[in-house]
Homo-oligomer: A and B are copies of this chain.
Amino acid sequence: MRIAELSRRSGVSIPTIKFYIREGLLPGGERTGPNQARYSQGHLDRLALIRALRDLAGLSVSAIARICAEIDRPGAAVLEQMAVVADALSGGDAAPAESPALEAALEDVRSYLEELGWKVRPEAPALLRLASALVTLRALYYPEMPAGAFAPYAKAALEIVTVELGERGALMLHEPALGLEGVVKGTILWEPVLLGLRRLAHEHVLGRR
């Protein structure tokens, strides 16, 4: 198909499609001439993924570009790719923002995870996010709040992940053939579901009083 049809079928305007190609979110079409190109089902799928990452997960265009570049990279270690994706998800370009309080919180989070027996990369950006969450919580509640306050959430997270990762290491509902793309979907697309259900559960439980 040509760009007009791609636009019509995906619901994304032509200028925006061109913009996504320029920014590297979408590969260019297969060239059929010096200034003609043909687009395929793959482009439609990619556009759906892009819209999902933007509208549902709220990712920035540059974060999506990083993820797509990794998806398009042919043979690479999946764990390594997952790390790149995870970093992009957490706003990978966020400054380390050196501060004593953050350093202390980071150390507390790390040792709490070690206590749990979780093995994660020491430089995982999610650690930094958790640490800065702890800093904020300490500022708003009380300064000595221990990382152990995370316990109920850690328990729930582990339960969810145990269900998500089935027998063969596939993310929930993900066909292994999809590879990294499946991991991205599995990681990101279910986040709004989890958060939305938590909010509704709040409403439900509070309403019952």
Chain A contacts to B: CB under 8 angstroms: 48-49, 51-52, 55-56, 58, 79, 82, 86, 89-90, 113, 118-121, 124, 126-127, 129-130, 132-133, 136-137, 139-141, 145, 149-150, 152-165, 169, 172-173, 185, 187, 189-209
Contacts and interface: CB of A to CB of B under 8 A. Distances in A.
A156 B202 contact: no
A194 B157 contact: yes
A140 B199 contact: no
B56 A58 contact: no
A150 B193 contact: yes
A207 B165 CA distance: 12
Given A141-B173, A209-B169, A197 B48 contact: no
A126 B199 contact: yes
Q: Count this chain's copies in the assembly.
A: 2
A153 B203 contact: no
Given A130-B196, A157-B198, 9 more contacts: A52-B139, A56-B136, A130-B192, A130-B197, A141-B185, A150-B193, A152-B159, A159-B159, A160-B201
A91 to B, nearest CB: 9
A202 B161 contact: yes
Nearest to A186: B202
